[in-house]
Amino acid sequence: MNKYRSHNCSELRESDSDKKVYLSGWLHRKRDHGNLLFIDLRDHFGITQCVVENKNKYFKVLESIRQESVIKVYGNVVKRELGTENKDLKTGKIEINIDNIEILSEAKDLPMPVFGEQEYPEDIRLKYRFLDLRRNQMHKNIVLRSKVISFMRSEMSKLGFLEFQTPILTSSSPEGARDFLVPSRLNPGKFYALPQAPQQFKQLIMVSGFDKYFQIAPCFRDEDARADRSPGEFYQLDIEMSFVEQENVFEVVETLMINLFKNFSSKKLMFQKFPRISYEEAMIKYGSDKPDLRNPLLIHDLTNIFERDDVTFDIFKKLVKSGSKVRCIVTKKTKDKARSFFDNIDKWAKEQGASGLAYFTIEKENEISAKGPVGKFFKEEALKEIMKITAAEVGDSIFFACGKVNDVEKITSLAREKIARDLNLIDENKFAFCWIVDYPMFELDELGKKIQFSHNPFSMPQGDIKKINFDKPLEIKAYQYDIVCNGIELSSGAIRNHIPELMYKLFLIAGYNKTQVDEKFSGMINALSYGAPPHGGIAPGIDRIVMLLAGEKNIREVTLFPLNQNAQDLLMGAPSEVDEKQLKELNIKIEKKINS
């Protein structure tokens, strides 16, 4: 092919026997027999075994050179003797008899080995990412990521979407996450912001008449990290479409996801048509708006039961009287589970900051009774009612949580997952997608006083625009939706509000008057005032999709050069201090924080 190689390290077969070839790659592994030396030569494509005997003048050189050095090998392709073949290698039926070699780049002692599948501390992996990325699993994940993105591009193009780039230096937006700011040299004292998402731009693209747009869009948010959330930056498949209803967006995304997941994973899709679950229903049944539908457990509301006279569980009754809710989870056929199973869950709940989970098991001798620490507080009639509501049967157990709606939703949602894991109810070989729909337009803030947008302020409220009752804002639903897979939120989207008058009304409810809206969203409002198509879209998170396809639990496993949890790049040393001169040009002065 060129002066470095005639073939790559995965190419040679029996049929190439007796050919003179030259290969280049990393010295993956050495097996030194003293007078005979085996070398596994590795490149991106695979591994080829090379052999050299002590009479070769390069023998000593190869003996002393370190792993991960890059060498060029010149030699003869030889068919391996029967019994010395390696079935695990594509090239396992041949080997290279080395004539001579050339060292292209020598490696120092390694801080972490490339060979093997052991786990290593993440700070070392990130500092030596180039070594980490040579390792098989990481290398595969990154290749997968590349293929997924290519696939998305080609599918979107086939569907008639056009790919555009939107600005990276843009303006700070008042809603949503913290912005990354970039000082402007030409405009002293002013800042650009990196886009949290190309939200306004993609809407402007629709207003500009381009009909359907997509982009593999970088998004920047200055928020704290999680396992499934990179600090700093991540990528979305940003999509926007003109003249569409919610279902049209769903069609595109469902088709894409089904093709994508069928193409890149052997795991089965639980639903060929993704279930649509309203936000309200999701919060009751799963305690979360990102339910893992592989998990068969459901949450039920039992608040009313604790208003009955034949229930004497006073702690819960008192809480219910003061507005708390009771929710429960039923586990099937758990009456013979060891006491420790129940107690562990209760203990776990306390560790999560809840006041624990009460539980009992339904039994029947002469009459139906509840066995367990709080069982004695429930008479037969009450138990029958509970069984009716929850579809619980004799032999099943019920776990209860009581508290304010938000708290009880949080703990039951976590408990649903915890209990299912303990009982091994989650099928890891499935993908369960669903849509969460009908999000409320507004919600109360934590103090329950101020009304604020619950999602995106640019979403279109549902129903006949002329008949919306703005006096009851909390009842207004929006054409706002999320797509969730295996409990991971992949994306949210919405049909956008393209009517300025309506937008002013909604902003007013959230406490912004017309002047304020004009100031903050002048570009957007202005654009919508000169003929805007009804439009909507969505933006699936690419990192999370690849994470699911790769079967990884951490987003950094599918990211080439991720920041660590403190948003530092240990390889490049970012963020870093800058020259006084640079600061001066930008009119910026650093005030050192003095710790007392």
Partner RNA sequence: GGGGGUGUAGCUCAGUUGGUUAGAGCGCCUGCCUGUCACGCAGGAGGUCGCCGGUUCGAGCCCGGUCACUCCCGCCA
Ranges within 226-285 binding RNA (CB under 7 A): 226-229
Of 79 and 379, the one with the shorter C-beta distance to RNA is 79
Select from 4, 44, 53, 526 the one that contacts RNA (CB under 7 A).
53
* Size of residue set near RNA by CB under 7 A: 74
β-bridge pairing 451-453 and 325-331 = unpaired
Which residues 6+ apart lie within 8 Å of 82 measured at CB? Answer: none
What value, to the nearest 5°, has the Cα angle with vertex 554 and ends 548 and 560? 95
Nearest approach, Cβ of 189 to RNA (angstroms)? 25
Query: Which segment (138-146, 415-423, 561-569, 582-590) binds RNA by CB under 7 A?
Result: 561-569
Site mask for RNA (CB under 7 A), range 168-207, x = bound? -------xxxx-----------------xx----------
Phi, psi (5° rounding) for residue 211?
70, -65
Contact (Cβ atoms closer than 8 angstroms) between residue 382 and residue 374: no
Count of beta carbons in the 10 Å neighbourhood of residue 18: 8
142 binds RNA, rule: CB under 7 A? no
Site for RNA in 96-135 (CB under 7 A): 109-113, 116, 118-124, 126
CA–CA separation, 417 and 433 (whole Å): 17
Name the minimum Å distance from CB 78 to RNA: 7
Position 489 contacts RNA (CB under 7 A): yes
51 lies in the binding site for RNA (CB under 7 A): yes
Return all residues near 153 (Cβ < 8 A) that are at least 6 apart: 163, 216
Kindly indicate which of the ranges 147-155, 418-426, 453-461, 504-512 contains the residues binding RNA, using the contact rule CB under 7 A. 453-461
Q: With binding defined as CB under 7 A, does residue 92 bind RNA?
A: yes
Interaction between residue 596 and RNA (CB under 7 A): no
The nearer residue to RNA, 40 or 240, going by C-beta atoms, is 40
The token pair at 303 is: 């608040």
137 versus 304: smaller Cβ distance to RNA:
137
Both structure tokens of 198: 């190309």
Q: Applying CB under 7 A, which of residues 8, 76, 312, 564 lies at the interface with RNA?
A: 564
For tokens 């100031």, what's the residue?
519
Q: Which of 226, 218, 123, 236 is nearest to 180 (CA)?
A: 218
Considering only CA atoms, which of 31, 26, 24, 32 is closest in space to residue 7? 24
Does 560 interact with RNA (rule: CB under 7 A)? no
Selected binder of RNA within 439, 458, 479, 507 (CB under 7 A): 439
Nearest residue to 409 (alpha-carbon basis) of 313, 314, 282: 282
Tokens encoding 271: 């639903």
User: Smaller CB distance to RNA: residue 276 or 332?
Assistant: 276
Q: How many angstroms separate the CA atoms of 376 and 374, rounded?
A: 6
Determine which residue in the list 5, 19, 29, 72 makes contact with RNA, applying CB under 7 A.
29
Residue 450 in contact with RNA, rule: CB under 7 A: no
Q: Which is nearer to RNA, 107 or 588 (CB)?
A: 107
CB of 369 to RNA, least distance (A): 37
Q: Which stretch binds RNA (CB under 7 A): 136-144, 269-277, 336-344, 564-572?
A: 564-572
Give the shortest CB-235-to-RNA separation in angstroms.
Answer: 12
The Cα 485–Cα 337 span in angstroms is 31
* Residue number, 40 or 254, with CB nearest to RNA: 40
Quick one: 113 or 188, whose CB is closer to RNA? 113
Say if strands 299-301 and 325-331 run parallel, antiparallel, or are unpaired: antiparallel
Q: Which residues pair with 431 in a beta bridge?
A: 269
**Shortest approach of RNA to residue 428 CB, angstroms?**
17
Q: Which residues are within 8 A (CB) of 268 and not within 5 positions of it... i.e. 6 or more apart?
A: 429, 430, 431
**Binding residues for RNA restricted to 515-554, rule: CB under 7 A:** 539, 554
- Minimum Å gap between C-beta 67 and RNA is 5
Q: How many CA atoms lie within 13 A of 131 on its CB side?
A: 25
From 24-32, 69-77, 160-168, 263-271, give the range in contact with RNA by CB under 7 A.
24-32
Structure tokens at 202: 């993609």
In the complex, minimum distance from the CB of residue 209 to RNA, in angstroms, rounded to a whole number:
25
Q: Is 219 helix (H, G, I), strand (E, B) or coil?
A: strand
Q: Are 370 and 330 spatial neighbours (Cβ–Cβ below 8 Å)?
A: no
Contact (Cβ atoms closer than 8 angstroms) between residue 481 and residue 538: yes
Report the nearest approach of RNA to the CB of residue 262 (Å). 26
Give the shortest CB-223-to-RNA separation in angstroms: 4
How far, in whole angstroms, is CA 181 from its chain's centroid?
Answer: 25
Q: Which is nearer to RNA, 96 or 528 (CB)?
A: 96
Instruction: Please state the closest distance from residue 565 (CB atom) to RNA, in A.
Output: 3
98's tokens? 């080395």
Q: What is the spatial distance between Cα 579 and Cα 286, in angstroms, rounded to a whole number?
A: 52
Least distance to RNA, CB of residue 346, Å = 17
| Cβ at position 394, least distance to RNA in Å | 35
23 in Cβ contact with 76 (< 8 Å): no
Q: How far apart are the C-alpha atoms of 596 and 593, rounded to whole Å?
A: 10
Give the residue with the Cβ less far from RNA, 112 or 258: 112
Binders of RNA among residues 60 to 89 (CB under 7 A) are 64, 66-67, 80-81, 83-86, 88-89
Q: Of 68 and 396, which has the nearer Cβ to RNA?
A: 68
Q: Which helix (H) or strand (E) holds 132?
A: helix 129-132
If one asks whether residue 38 binds RNA (CB under 7 A), the answer comes out as yes
CB of 330 to RNA, least distance (A): 24
Minimum distance between the CB of residue 357 and RNA, rounded to whole angstroms? 17
Residue among 133, 225, 405, 509 that touches RNA (CB under 7 A) = 225
Question: d(Cα 66, Cα 110) in Å, to the nearest integer?
Answer: 9
